[in-house]
Amino acid sequence: MSQPTSFSLDQPYTEIIVVRHGETAWNATGRIQGHMDVELDEVGRQQAASLAERLSRVPEISAIYSSDLKRLLKLLRRLLQPRERHLGDVQGLLFREAAKVCPQAYRAFSSRRTDQVIPGGGESSDQLYHRATSSLQRICQRHTGKRVVVVAHGGVIRALYRRACSSRFRGIILNTSVNIFQISGDDVWTIKAWGDIDHLNQTGHSMSGFGVSKTPSAVSPVLT
């Protein structure tokens, strides 16, 4: 595993290490979670332990933020607030059955329109984007020039990628993957590392994710 580079608190940017929660039983079976409060399964607990051990070696972490859902709070306890997108009527359904059970909500959930809300109180991608990015901006303002860990969800991490790269990420957001954002004082976002699962590769713990595997070629997958 690569060793972290030296990090000074007078850096002209805030470094935010964004990690996804560990695997849940619903992740493993392909069930749509959204705001549903699902706990980590045994694999997820092992993944969380591996990630916690890794982050314990990262210097100068000034704060840790987490969603209030159980699958993130369990990881937060291992390590020592943006919630996942609300997915309306498709929450709790298996991906393979959602189109038949709730066709209207599934069409909205699958839509490429970023302003498409989901029936049943679900958010549009744009609503999630503004909620997630504004939360990260507030964290940066509280911790200017420092290093912070944010434990989040796949949908939130996708929104943050969209803010940094001005495009939608269509690949996997793996459980407990490490994604490092650097945000300057004038609100310029840069991705330093993306989709890093070195801690899982070394332990042999299984990996699961959300989407189709793809890593941006311009982004280093290594936590430095």
Is 194 a known ligand-binding residue? no
Is 114 a known ligand-binding residue? no
Which secondary structure element, helix H or strand E, spans residue 130, and what is its range? Answer: helix 125-142
Is 15 a known ligand-binding residue? no
Burial bucket for residue 7 (CB in 10 Å: 0-12, 13-18, 19+): middle
Q: Are 203 and 43 in contact (CB under 8 A)?
A: no
Q: How many CB atoms lie within 10 A of CB 4?
A: 14
Token reading at 62 = 């000034």
The one catalytic residue in 15, 21, 86, 153 is: 21
Is 53 a known ligand-binding residue? no
Is 224 a known ligand-binding residue? no
Check if 42 is active-site. Answer: no
The one catalytic residue in 84, 86, 123, 199 is: 84
What three-state secondary structure class fits 146?
coil
- Closest to 215 in 3D by CA, of 203, 79, 199, 198: 198
Is 22 a known ligand-binding residue? yes
Q: Rounded to whole angstroms, how far apart are CA atoms 170 and 219?
A: 15
Concatenated DSSP letters of 56-116: TTSS-EEEEEE-SSHHHHHHHHHH--PPPPP-GGGTTSBHHHHHHHSHHHHHHHH-S-TT-
Check if 21 is active-site. Answer: yes
Is 31 a known ligand-binding residue? no
Token reading at 46 = 């092992």
Detail the residues annotated as belonging to a binding site: 20-27, 71
Q: Which residues are catalytic?
A: 21, 84
Detail the residues annotated as belonging to a binding site for substrate: 20-27, 71
